[in-house]
Amino acid sequence: MDQTLKVLFIISEAEPMIKVGGLGDVGGTLPLALQKLSDRQETETELDIKVVIPYHDHIKQLNWPVEWVINYKIQNRDSFLDVYVSKTLNTDIPIYLLDGEPIRNTDIYSSDTYVDAEKYAFFSCAALELCRALKWTPDVLHAHDWHTAFGVKRLAQIRSFDRLFSKTKSLFTIHNLPYSGGNHPDVLYRYDLQPAYDPAIPDGMRSLPMALGLDSADHISTVSHTYAKEIKTEAFGHGYQFFLQNHSDRVSGILNGILMEQWDPSTDQTLYKNFSAESLDERIHNKRMLQQELWLPQKDETPLFVMIGRMTYQKGFDLCIQALRQMRDLNWQLIVLGTGEESIQKACVALANEFPDRVRVEIKYDSLLSKRLYAGGDLFLMPSRYEPCGIAQMISMLFGCVPVAHATGGLTDTIKDPEDYPDAYTGFLFADTDIQAAEWAMRRSLTYFADKPQWREIQKRGMRQDFSWEKSAKEYIELYRKLSACPASSD
Ligand code: ADP
């Protein structure tokens, strides 16, 4: 090992303390994967990584064991604000929990964008100042999504005169571009943050936190190669496409991984019956129990579709709902698990009312049921209109539930369709974002399902995929190394 690379990793969620979506998976598992690589001395670089998240009320309610680390103050234009920092015990690596007035008595994400802007501006600026309090100089600030973009901007503004950060570089990872944060110039003013300068960012968007992060990061990454290309187009760029095209050399994709041991049907104690690629016969017990538990006819031969996720327009549930209506001539069952927008919940319930002997809808967040669905379903529907990476499709493959998905972002990068991989396909993709395309792919998948030996091969190939963080974590370390070796520029 030739050096120690210090990384300040700031993010709004990290499991197991807090997970709202895939961001929480990344916050909890990527730092762990990075640390493991470093501990096993598999890279030339030793890592010293500090993960910092807000001490959300939700985490306090868990009574997670923590130890106090330090208190300090940060200054904004109005006043000095107290910052209280604790550190988790009983986690694989310690997570720094940052607390203060703008964080207290708030939801993880508020429906009021002003409350969120204040909370995350405070969090991001205070997280940078934690380095000063700890007398620890980071080589790289790795920030994620709009919530922590304020920190990227602040770093760019201060490093020309602030010796602590004079050599610190920033990496800004986009997990979901359309979520830009609220437009609140007065919050920026209060925290002394300038709007984005770049002329390729539309005027009305310059004060959005996402714009701040993009404009001032030394490097921008996103969570799959395909999404890195898609965000440079009008359809996926949400107004940032010209900026991203102009700065193409600063934009790259690194696919998210998952903790493979966390998603292993051969050991998972919550399943009705464990199974592996070598004992696929056992898997059917999970389907039977699931059908029984949800009062569906217990039929092995009836293909069971499952759909799990946040009920938002992004996830495209509506496409499959309508496609299934048009497939009433075929034999199928469907179980939906999710929460979210009322109109989508209603659309799912309407389908269940229309097909009472075929469709079940569970409106809730339920990790246990989600695993039983991955283990018992035959086909996993993921018709996302866009999907920066997505982990649900990876989990479904590892559990032998074959994905049928829209060919976008990380879905394109992780699912192999028979047309492109005639000898190695793991699922089914459709190119156009419409009901006909979804229906065509679902019908196509059912013809494969009908051929049992062939279906087993698809399941086995999916279950043997390597979605671990290993490769991606190495790519992040390489990027950190490259960044830290470049001379710093100032804003
Ligand atoms: P996103 O981050 O956009 O929500 P991902 O596919 O990256 O989508 O991650 C979703 C994760 O959340 C998966 O682990 C999925 O199983 C889980 N999940 C989503 N909705 C539910 C739910 N209602 N109950 C249980 N788990 C859920």
Cis peptide bond N-terminal to 487, omega within 30? no
**Architecture category of domain 261-463 in CATH:** 3-Layer(aba) Sandwich (3.40)
Total Cβ atoms within 10 A of residue 31: 25
Cα–ligand 1 centroid distance for 352 (angstroms): 21
Closest ligand 1 atom number to CA of residue 389:
7
Taking the complete model, does pTM exceed 0.75, yes or no? yes
CA dihedral 93, 98, 99, 102 (to 10 degrees): -140
Look at residue 3 in the predicted model and tell me its pLDDT. Answer: 75
CATH topology of domain 3-258+470-484: Rossmann fold (3.40.50)
Indicate which residue's Cα is closest to atom 26 of ligand 1.
Answer: 367
**Probe ligand 1: pick from 370, 387, 415, max atoms within 8 Å of CB?**
370
Please give the average pLDDT of every successive group of 10 residues along the chain, which has 491 residues: 84 93 92 91 85 97 95 96 96 94 96 97 98 97 98 97 97 97 97 97 97 98 98 97 97 95 96 98 98 97 97 97 97 97 97 98 96 98 97 97 98 98 97 97 98 98 96 95 76 57
331, two tokens:
């034999």
pLDDT of residue 22: 85
Closest-CA residue, ligand 1 atom 9, reads 22
SS3 72: strand
Choosing from 12, 13, 308 the residue with most ligand 1 atoms within 8 A of its CB, the one to mutate for a pocket test is 308
Atom number in ligand 1 closest to CA 19: 12
**Residue 488: predicted pLDDT:** 55
Distance 16 CA to ligand 1 centre (A): 14
Pocket test for ligand 1, best of 26, 365, 467 (most atoms within 8 A of CB): 365
Long-range CB contacts (within 8 A, 24+) of 429-436: 429/404, 429/405, 430/383, 430/404, 430/405, 430/406, 431/407, 433/316, 433/319, 433/385, 433/406, 433/408, 434/319, 435/319, 435/322, 435/323, 435/326, 436/323
Which pLDDT score is estimated for 491?
57
Pinpoint the residues of the chain covered by CATH 3.40.50.2000: 3-258+470-484, 261-463
**Tokens 């129990």, located at residue:** 289
Q: Which helix (H) or strand (E) holds 99?
A: strand 95-99
Distance 349 CA to ligand 1 centre (A): 20
From the CA of 370, give the closest atom in ligand 1: 25
- Please give the pLDDT value at position 490: 52
> What pLDDT was estimated at residue 374?
98
Quote the pLDDT of residue 42.
72
- State the maximum Cα–Cα separation within the chain, in Å, rounded to a whole number: 70
pLDDT of residue 1: 46
Reduce the DSSP state of residue 308 to 3 states and report it.
strand
